[in-house]
Amino acid sequence: MILFKHKKQRKIVRSGIGFFLILLVLGISVGMSEKNFDNENYITLSSLKKDSVASKEAFKKVYSVLMHPRCMNCHPSGDIPLQGDDSHLHGMSPHRGKDGKGVYAMKCANCHQNENTPGLHAPPGNPEWHLPPADMKMVFEGRTANQLAKQLIDKSTNGNKSIKELIAHAEDTLVKAGWHPAEGLSLPPMSHAEFKEAWITWLKTGAYAPEEAN
Protein backbone atom coordinates (compact mmCIF):
# COMPACT_ATOMS: atom_id res chain seq x y z
CA MET A 1 0.00 0.00 0.00
CA ILE A 2 2.82 2.39 0.90
CA LEU A 3 4.67 1.55 -2.36
CA PHE A 4 1.55 2.36 -4.43
CA LYS A 5 1.23 5.71 -2.63
CA HIS A 6 4.82 6.63 -3.44
CA LYS A 7 4.38 5.74 -7.11
CA LYS A 8 1.26 7.89 -7.24
CA GLN A 9 3.10 10.77 -5.66
CA ARG A 10 5.95 10.41 -8.15
CA LYS A 11 3.41 10.38 -10.98
CA ILE A 12 1.79 13.57 -9.65
CA VAL A 13 5.18 15.25 -9.34
CA ARG A 14 6.14 14.23 -12.88
CA SER A 15 2.80 15.53 -14.18
CA GLY A 16 3.31 18.81 -12.36
CA ILE A 17 6.78 19.25 -13.84
CA GLY A 18 5.48 18.42 -17.32
CA PHE A 19 2.66 20.95 -16.97
CA PHE A 20 5.13 23.60 -15.75
CA LEU A 21 7.41 22.97 -18.75
CA ILE A 22 4.46 23.33 -21.13
CA LEU A 23 3.55 26.66 -19.54
CA LEU A 24 7.18 27.77 -19.75
CA VAL A 25 7.39 26.95 -23.49
CA LEU A 26 4.07 28.69 -24.14
CA GLY A 27 5.29 31.75 -22.25
CA ILE A 28 8.50 31.90 -24.27
CA SER A 29 6.53 31.48 -27.52
CA VAL A 30 4.16 34.31 -26.62
CA GLY A 31 7.10 36.48 -25.64
CA MET A 32 8.82 35.83 -28.95
CA SER A 33 5.59 36.55 -30.83
CA GLU A 34 5.37 39.92 -29.12
CA LYS A 35 8.97 40.62 -30.05
CA ASN A 36 8.27 39.62 -33.63
CA PHE A 37 5.50 42.21 -33.71
CA ASP A 38 7.26 45.01 -31.87
CA ASN A 39 10.96 44.50 -32.40
CA GLU A 40 12.52 44.53 -35.86
CA ASN A 41 15.38 42.39 -34.54
CA TYR A 42 13.07 39.35 -34.62
CA ILE A 43 11.23 39.94 -37.90
CA THR A 44 10.91 37.00 -40.28
CA LEU A 45 8.60 36.62 -43.26
CA SER A 46 6.59 33.88 -41.57
CA SER A 47 5.71 36.17 -38.65
CA LEU A 48 4.51 39.09 -40.73
CA LYS A 49 0.95 40.03 -41.59
CA LYS A 50 0.90 39.47 -45.33
CA ASP A 51 -1.11 41.80 -47.56
CA SER A 52 -0.26 41.51 -51.25
CA VAL A 53 -2.19 44.64 -52.26
CA ALA A 54 -0.59 46.89 -49.64
CA SER A 55 2.83 45.35 -50.30
CA LYS A 56 2.72 45.90 -54.06
CA GLU A 57 1.44 49.45 -53.69
CA ALA A 58 4.24 50.23 -51.23
CA PHE A 59 6.86 48.85 -53.59
CA LYS A 60 5.64 51.09 -56.41
CA LYS A 61 6.64 54.04 -54.20
CA VAL A 62 9.95 52.37 -53.36
CA TYR A 63 10.59 51.72 -57.04
CA SER A 64 10.14 55.40 -57.93
CA VAL A 65 13.02 56.21 -55.57
CA LEU A 66 15.29 53.34 -56.59
CA MET A 67 14.99 54.34 -60.25
CA HIS A 68 15.80 57.98 -59.51
CA PRO A 69 19.34 59.04 -60.52
CA ARG A 70 20.38 59.49 -56.87
CA CYS A 71 19.97 55.75 -56.43
CA MET A 72 20.26 54.24 -59.88
CA ASN A 73 23.51 56.04 -60.79
CA CYS A 74 25.36 53.82 -58.33
CA HIS A 75 23.55 50.67 -59.48
CA PRO A 76 24.36 50.60 -63.22
CA SER A 77 24.06 47.62 -65.51
CA GLY A 78 27.74 47.95 -66.46
CA ASP A 79 30.91 48.54 -64.45
CA ILE A 80 31.05 52.32 -64.94
CA PRO A 81 28.86 54.43 -62.62
CA LEU A 82 26.30 56.82 -64.03
CA GLN A 83 26.32 60.56 -63.45
CA GLY A 84 23.98 63.55 -63.34
CA ASP A 85 20.21 63.78 -63.52
CA ASP A 86 20.26 62.32 -67.03
CA SER A 87 22.22 59.27 -65.81
CA HIS A 88 24.98 59.46 -68.42
CA LEU A 89 28.18 57.43 -68.09
CA HIS A 90 30.63 58.90 -65.61
CA GLY A 91 32.88 61.35 -67.45
CA MET A 92 36.06 60.03 -65.80
CA SER A 93 35.19 56.42 -66.74
CA PRO A 94 36.03 54.91 -63.34
CA HIS A 95 35.50 51.14 -63.15
CA ARG A 96 33.78 49.18 -60.42
CA GLY A 97 36.70 47.05 -59.31
CA LYS A 98 36.42 43.91 -57.19
CA ASP A 99 35.27 45.74 -54.05
CA GLY A 100 33.23 48.39 -55.85
CA LYS A 101 35.63 51.16 -54.86
CA GLY A 102 37.48 51.56 -58.15
CA VAL A 103 40.72 50.21 -59.59
CA TYR A 104 44.37 51.24 -59.38
CA ALA A 105 44.71 55.02 -58.99
CA MET A 106 41.10 55.63 -60.05
CA LYS A 107 39.52 55.08 -56.66
CA CYS A 108 36.10 56.53 -55.79
CA ALA A 109 37.44 58.16 -52.63
CA ASN A 110 40.02 60.15 -54.62
CA CYS A 111 37.25 62.49 -55.80
CA HIS A 112 34.29 61.66 -53.57
CA GLN A 113 35.28 62.97 -50.16
CA ASN A 114 33.48 62.52 -46.82
CA GLU A 115 31.22 65.49 -47.61
CA ASN A 116 29.89 67.06 -50.79
CA THR A 117 32.49 69.20 -52.53
CA PRO A 118 31.19 72.81 -52.72
CA GLY A 119 30.26 74.14 -56.14
CA LEU A 120 27.91 73.41 -59.01
CA HIS A 121 28.39 69.89 -60.47
CA ALA A 122 31.16 69.17 -57.94
CA PRO A 123 31.47 65.55 -56.70
CA PRO A 124 28.99 64.48 -54.04
CA GLY A 125 30.58 62.97 -50.96
CA ASN A 126 30.12 60.32 -48.31
CA PRO A 127 32.61 58.25 -46.25
CA GLU A 128 31.22 55.04 -47.79
CA TRP A 129 31.03 56.15 -51.44
CA HIS A 130 31.28 53.11 -53.72
CA LEU A 131 29.45 50.85 -56.17
CA PRO A 132 28.26 47.39 -55.14
CA PRO A 133 31.12 44.85 -55.40
CA ALA A 134 31.80 42.84 -58.55
CA ASP A 135 30.39 39.61 -57.09
CA MET A 136 27.10 41.25 -56.06
CA LYS A 137 26.42 44.08 -58.51
CA MET A 138 22.84 44.79 -57.41
CA VAL A 139 21.83 46.28 -60.75
CA PHE A 140 18.87 48.68 -60.74
CA GLU A 141 19.29 50.11 -64.25
CA GLY A 142 16.84 48.54 -66.70
CA ARG A 143 15.02 46.46 -64.08
CA THR A 144 11.23 46.42 -64.00
CA ALA A 145 9.43 46.77 -60.66
CA ASN A 146 8.74 43.04 -60.72
CA GLN A 147 12.36 42.13 -61.42
CA LEU A 148 13.81 44.53 -58.85
CA ALA A 149 11.45 43.48 -56.07
CA LYS A 150 12.41 39.83 -56.57
CA GLN A 151 16.10 40.72 -56.72
CA LEU A 152 15.98 42.71 -53.50
CA ILE A 153 14.66 39.85 -51.36
CA ASP A 154 16.76 37.09 -52.95
CA LYS A 155 19.73 36.47 -50.66
CA SER A 156 21.82 35.31 -53.62
CA THR A 157 21.48 38.75 -55.24
CA ASN A 158 20.97 41.17 -52.32
CA GLY A 159 24.20 40.69 -50.41
CA ASN A 160 22.79 37.83 -48.28
CA LYS A 161 20.52 40.22 -46.38
CA SER A 162 17.62 38.97 -44.26
CA ILE A 163 14.32 40.85 -43.94
CA LYS A 164 15.62 42.35 -40.71
CA GLU A 165 18.79 43.53 -42.44
CA LEU A 166 16.86 44.92 -45.39
CA ILE A 167 14.72 46.99 -43.02
CA ALA A 168 17.86 48.29 -41.29
CA HIS A 169 19.37 49.10 -44.71
CA ALA A 170 16.94 52.02 -45.08
CA GLU A 171 19.12 53.85 -42.54
CA ASP A 172 22.38 53.05 -44.33
CA THR A 173 24.56 56.16 -44.58
CA LEU A 174 25.00 55.82 -48.34
CA VAL A 175 21.26 55.32 -48.89
CA LYS A 176 20.54 58.47 -46.89
CA ALA A 177 23.15 60.36 -48.93
CA GLY A 178 20.64 60.32 -51.79
CA TRP A 179 18.73 63.01 -49.90
CA HIS A 180 21.86 65.13 -49.52
CA PRO A 181 22.93 65.59 -53.15
CA ALA A 182 25.68 67.84 -54.43
CA GLU A 183 24.73 71.29 -55.68
CA GLY A 184 22.71 71.18 -58.89
CA LEU A 185 21.44 67.62 -58.47
CA SER A 186 17.78 66.76 -57.86
CA LEU A 187 16.28 65.03 -54.86
CA PRO A 188 14.39 61.71 -55.00
CA PRO A 189 10.61 62.03 -55.54
CA MET A 190 9.76 61.70 -51.83
CA SER A 191 11.42 62.38 -48.49
CA HIS A 192 13.61 59.79 -46.82
CA ALA A 193 10.96 59.34 -44.11
CA GLU A 194 8.31 58.57 -46.75
CA PHE A 195 10.65 56.20 -48.55
CA LYS A 196 11.50 54.38 -45.33
CA GLU A 197 7.83 53.99 -44.47
CA ALA A 198 7.07 52.54 -47.91
CA TRP A 199 10.15 50.29 -47.76
CA ILE A 200 9.20 48.84 -44.38
CA THR A 201 5.54 48.49 -45.36
CA TRP A 202 6.57 46.55 -48.47
CA LEU A 203 8.74 44.18 -46.44
CA LYS A 204 6.43 43.75 -43.45
CA THR A 205 3.39 42.95 -45.60
CA GLY A 206 5.11 40.12 -47.45
CA ALA A 207 7.59 41.74 -49.88
CA TYR A 208 5.42 40.98 -52.90
CA ALA A 209 6.58 41.88 -56.41
CA PRO A 210 4.20 43.93 -58.57
CA GLU A 211 2.99 42.21 -61.72
CA GLU A 212 4.77 42.90 -64.98
CA ALA A 213 3.09 45.58 -67.07
CA ASN A 214 1.42 44.31 -70.24
* pLDDT (0 to 100) of residue 49: 85
Q: Is residue 72 part of a domain?
A: yes
Q: How far is CA 43 from CA 9, 37, 49, 162, 198, in A?
A: 44, 7, 11, 9, 17
pLDDT of residue 115: 96
Number of domains within the chain:
2
| Three-class DSSP category at 139 | coil
Same domain, 70 and 135: yes
Residue-wise pLDDT tens for the chain (214 aa)?
A: 444 445 554 554 455 445 444 444 444 443 433 333 333 333 445 456 899 999 999 999 999 999 999 999 999 999 999 999 999 999 999 999 999 999 999 999 999 999 999 999 899 999 999 999 999 999 999 999 999 999 999 999 999 999 999 999 999 999 999 999 999 999 999 999 999 999 999 999 999 999 998 6
One domain for residues 61 and 121 = yes
Answer for the pair 106, 71: CB distance below 8 angstroms, yes or no.
no
Give the per-residue pLDDT at 213.
Answer: 81
Kindly state whether residues 78 and 160 are assigned to the same domain: yes
Output the CA angle 147-153-155, nearest 5 degrees: 115
Q: Same domain for 57 and 28?
A: no
143 within a domain of the structure (yes/no): yes
Q: Say yes or no: 96 and 128 in one domain.
A: yes
**Residue 122 belongs to some domain of the structure:** yes
For residue 130, the enclosing domain spans 41-204
Please state, in angstroms and rounded to a whole number, the distance separating the CA atoms of residues 199 and 16. 48
User: Mapped to the 3 state alphabet, what secondary structure does 7-32 carry?
Assistant: HHHHHHHHHHHHHHHHHHHHHHHHHH
